[in-house]
Structures are given as C-alpha cells and as structure tokens.
A and B are shown apart, each in its own frame.
Chain A
C-alpha cells in the first residue's frame, strides 16, 4: 500500500514506488493538455497559495496554470511585492497566508531548507518549487516523465548532467530520483562546480571533468544553465566554458545514437548549449515544459485534493464545466 504523501519537500526521501505512482498519476493529465477546453472542476472550491520568494517566471506560471486547470483558485505572493522588503520574517509571511485558509502552499525560496521550515510550522500541504541549492523535486519528476515517455522506462540508462552541478538543485533532485531506478549518473563540469562530495549523494554517481569522457555512452544528457547570478566564487570566463563544456552537435555524437537532451530552462543558447542541439530531434525541451504541467496537476490533485475530491478523468471530458 502506497503511503500517502503529506508534502513534497524533495526527492531524496521518496521511495521508488512513490515516484512511479506520481508519474502514473500524471498520465491522464498529459492527455488532458491536448483538449481544446482545459478546465476541470476537480479542485473547485480549493485554494492554492503560490509563494515565490525568488525570481521565477516559468515554474510560477506552470504551477498557476496547473491549479487553474484543476479548477482551484490561487493566491499569489511574490517577494518583490510582499512585506519581506519591509523586514517581515518568512514565518510571519507564511502564517499570514495560512490565515487566509489555503488548501496547499507552493513555495520557492533562495534558502535551502525553507520549504521544510515552513512545512514543520504550518498545517497545510507544502510543495517545494525549488529551494536554494537543495532540491527542485517537480523538475526531476517532469524530467523522469519525459525520459520514461521517450525511452519506455527509466531503469538502466546512462545519464550525464553537464554544468554547474554544485549550485544546481535540479541536478540534486535528478540524481536522487534516477539513482533510485538504477540509472548510472555522470556529473561533469569545471572542477570547482563538481566537488567530489557529489559522488556521495546517491549510489552509481561519478564525477568527470572532461566532457568527452562524460558524454561517451550517454543515453540521456541534462545540460544545466550556467547560473552566474548564484555564484559566490569568482565566475569562470564564459569563453572558457563554451570552449570546454558547451553541448555542441560534435560532442553530442559521442553519446549513444538517439540520446535525449534535456534542459531545465531558462536556456542560454550559445553558452551551455548550441542552438542546433537545442532545436534538434534529440532535444526534449518543449516536452519538458508540457510535462511540467501534467506533473504539477497530478501533485496538486494528490496533495491538495486529498481523498474528498473526485478522481481525475481517464479521458479528457467531452464538455467544459
């Protein structure tokens, strides 16, 4: 029997069964995105608070759209517009949101551990939409869904994650998730962005600093954004990164034929990835965006809806609500 999730704070503590369950739950919502009238009544009357304490457009829009398509209302809080600038603590801010009785809270924060801090102190389900350099669980789930759809299953592939792994919450969540399915993971980037300690994150993780070695035999490649704004270290010259690590068509040849290319976005063409690769047949970038909606709908349905709401449709509904 699958244990019911209370929150989604990270991938690390999920079981393989829980992850498969979430991916399975997303299937009907994938199909639903193709329907001309995209509105369900599943979460009608429910309210989802979406609190972003760090700049983001894509993830915030994805969660808002997912909630809207389930029929939920949303309360949006953005750091710029909030009282944080006036010195209010995170705890006071989220307690204020809680007093308006939301049924769930989606939170993004620049401090690692902030979603857990909030979940320990509030009485509503919390979904981590990315915390500091810790985890970004919904990104890893949508990546897994994308890989599973394209390749039929997750087990046994060779995955290469390329870029600034140290500062990447996307990389950590993907390592935790895919390692549970026996994926062999290679982390590659300039040495100071790939500390050896990353090999202790999960089983079957290795660190490589030469991109050619990292790509050899890869079935899936995740190119990370070079997050210059998050770096405390002196930044590496962009030219140096491009020269040694950019994912180019030539380098992609080193991977297995038909290897998938994923990118969590926002993508900087010409820096971490060549435009020809980003737009090529192996790229999954736009499927990732679509799958993000399905994963987030499935999670909101599961965590915010609870047992009281009607099940999601097996097929898209014939009529709008």
Chain B
C-alpha cells in the first residue's frame, strides 16, 4: 500500500499496553503516517510531531463492535460524519455500524454508500455490518457475499433476532463459508411482547410492561445449539442476562466458536435505576442487580470477549415522550471508556491490561482479525488517562442526539487522543487538572 501521508508522529513516554504482545512498558512509538515505524525508549525523529504521553496509557486503537450511525435514512438522529466524530472523542479508531438503517444495509450498494460516506468523513474507520436477511425481515437471505466484497465485516439482523431457527441455521452455514461472524441480537418476540423494561419488582412497581430475562436467554440457547450444529462463528450482541452468559460459557467449554459483548450501561446500571425517564429505556433493558453482578464476573474472568457501546442515537423529540412510547437505546461512544474505568478498573474488578483487551484484541478476535502495537502494524492508537477528572456533558457531543442517562456524571479517566492512520483525529484539551 502506498504511503499517502508521510508525516511522522512520535508519541513519547507513554505506558504502552498491548495485550496481543503482552507488552506493558514505558516506550516511545513512532508512526510514519500509515504504519508503526519504531518502538523503543529514547526515540528521536527530527521532523516528527511530538505527542507527550507521559502518565498516559498508549493502547492499540479501540474497536466498537456495535453502534448505530443512522445513515442512510435517519439523519435527524445521526450521520456517519457526526457519529464518527463522537466515536473519536470516545477513543474509538474503528466502529462497526449495524444495518438497521433506512433502507436496511442488505445489499452491496447500501454497503458501498456507507463506505464512501465514511471515507468522506475521514475521521475513524467505519466497518459496516450487513443484514442477515432481506430488510432484516427474517424471510430470505440478504446478498451477503456481495456485501462482503463491498466491505462488511459481519452480518446481523440487529434490533431483533433472526426470526426462525431454520433461517438462522442457513445464515450461519452460509456465513461460515464466507468466514463472516454472525452477530446475534437475542430476543424471543413472543416473550418480549411489547415490554419496555426488564420484568421484575421494579417493572411491577412502575406499572411498566416487563420483558422476562428468558426472552434473551432462550434465543441465546437456540443459537448456541445452532453454532454447535453449523460450527459457524456466533457473536452474541449486548448480552445482558446470566442465562445467556451461561450458554456462552457452555459453548466455550465445548470449543464452539461463540463470543459475546457487554454494553457499558449493562454493567453500570440495573433495573432498580429505571425511572420514568426514557434515557433508561434500552433494548436489551437494564438487567437485574444479580445479572449485572454476573456480567461483571464474566467480563473479569474472560467469558465476555468485548465491551461494545450499542451507541443508539435518537433525535431529542423522539425521546421526549411517554416512557412506553419512546424508542429504545442510548448514545454511548463518549462514556464507554470512562464507565469501564470507573466501574471496573478503579473498583479493582479488572486489570488495565484486561480493560485494553476488551476494547482491542477482544473485538478484533470476534471479527477474525488482530490488533496490536508492533513495527509494521497499522498506525491506529488510543491514548487515554486512567485518572483525568472530568464531567460528561452531552451538550458538548458532536453526536446529533443527547439520549444518555450519564449526562452530568463525574468521571475519573478519559480518552486523551485518538490516532487513526497516523493522524490525531481527536485530542482532548487538557486543562490544569491534567
């Protein structure tokens, strides 16, 4: 590949953490515009721009396996450009966008348009996920091979489960032959039945229609069984229940290729936090306290492969309605790392290396690729502080939407710089507190 950007960037004195190479050392990293050129101590490059990373962590570029960029079709809520800028502020160098746009990304021309728009936005990498079925309607297979040629990295009917076990089996067989992972939104529609939050004491108290945890776990069980049958790569999206996690553990014990992700709001909040505030309405819904504890245990012990945001922007007017009429979902790029640091790292539940793994090598493995800091590897890096004190203000986000329950929350730790292709696409203004 020709070098299109020969500007040099030298990152000095950062604590380089790379789970892939088992590195944890203070080093300098020199990027030549596209690739990592040198790693070592006391590096110098007279023409290079210098980034002082003293006291900061230098990690491989973060990957978000799960987001909604709403383009094409719902540009009131987000565009690829605004979503990509928000992702960069969250420290992500690559994001995978779900196909439930309008039209659905179920054919190569939609895929190509997303790739083109992402190239024009020129911020973070955007890797599209294609629909499993035409229109995600659960009837006929989408043009998966053609979409793969156009750039999809996985398939999913996210927003709902693939409608029948029979179709899911076909999707998995076919995707296996194309070496694509199938990303699974687990939900039994007959149990979901118009629910708006997790079924339990809180839903009964608020008089809100509950969704039993088994809506997710029954579908996870079905699809783990199909992974055993087909030997395909199955990835459970936004896993939120103990039952579904147990199916993933079971599959991993069998050596079946099943992975899963957990969203930051699911390990931070639980159903007891739900109020008549639509920023607490997401799907899967906030789980029980016991489920949250189980998810954190799974993140710590390796059963969970990745943290993914499920960034789901909704235009303010669409969320400023009665709870049961609001759409599901919250934005999440800019709070994901800070929530993980606050809830899991500073509380001693996971190490800093495990944290980096959950945002880098973990999601890369799900996609069948790798993520590392080595000479010759792509110049995509995430630099963050574990201790920077700051307060999240949704109003300052480049996202077009403001639907988050974390507005105004004080955090310890934040992304400081996001580097894509050797270029700093986001850099935090550091005040005196840094």
Contact = CB atoms under 8 A, between A and B. Distances in A.
18 contacts: A89-B320, A89-B321, A91-B320, A109-B322, A112-B206, A112-B323, A113-B276, A113-B322, A114-B322, A132-B208, A133-B208, A134-B206, A134-B208, A166-B204, A172-B207, A197-B200, A197-B204, A200-B205
B40 interface: no
**For the complex of A and B, 8 pairs with smallest distance between CB atoms:** A113-B276, A134-B207, A111-B322, A133-B207, A112-B207, A197-B204, A200-B201, A197-B201
Contacts of A280: none
A187 B8 CA distance: 73
B322 to A, nearest CB: 4
Nearest to A121: B320
Given A90-B322, A134-B208, 10 more contacts: A12-B205, A91-B320, A91-B321, A111-B324, A113-B276, A113-B323, A116-B276, A134-B206, A232-B193, A232-B194
Given A89-B321, A91-B321, A117-B322, A112 B276 contact: yes
A272 interface: no
Contacts of A132: 207-208, 324
Contacts of B208: 112-113, 132-134
A59 B205 CA distance: 23
Contact of B205 (A114, A131, A201, A232): A201
Contacts of A232: 193-194, 209
Contacts of A201: 204-205
B430 interface: no
- What range describes how many residues of B lie at the interface? 10 to 19
Interface string A113-133: 110110000000000000111
A134 B276 CA distance: 11
B325 interface: yes
B276 A195 contact: no
B120 interface: no
Interface string B133-151: 0000000000000000000
A201 B206 CA distance: 10
- What range describes how many residues of A lie at the interface? 20 to 34
Interface string A207-241: 00000000000000000000000001000000000
A296 interface: no
Given A89-B317, A197-B200, A232-B193, A111 B325 contact: yes
Contacts of A195: 204
Contacts of A111: 322-325
Nearest to B196: A112
Interface in B174-221: 193-194, 200-201, 203-209
Interface string A87-113: 001110000000000000000010111
Interface in B115-167: none
A198 interface: yes
Interface centre among B193, B204, B317, B325 (most CB of A within 10 A): B204
A184 interface: no
Nearest to A118: B322
Contacts of B204: 166, 195, 197-198, 200-201
Given A113-B276, A200-B201, A90 B206 contact: no
A169 interface: yes
Contacts of A134: 206-208
Contacts of B203: 197
B288 to A, nearest CB: 11
A90 B318 CA distance: 12
Interface string B399-426: 0000000000000000000000000000
B419 to A, nearest CB: 42
A164 interface: no
B200 to A, nearest CB: 6
A135 interface: yes
Contacts of A117: 276, 321-323
A12 B209 CA distance: 19
Contacts of B324: 111-112, 132
B201 to A, nearest CB: 4
A201 B203 CA distance: 11
A112 to B, nearest CB: 4
Given A90-B322, A91-B320, A132-B324, A113 B205 contact: no
Interface in A132-184: 132-135, 166, 169, 172
A200 B206 CA distance: 12
Interface string A58-77: 00000000000000000000
Interface string B303-338: 000000000000001001111110000000000000
Contacts of A89: 317, 320-321
Contacts of A166: 204
Contacts of A197: 200-201, 203-205
A89 B193 CA distance: 24
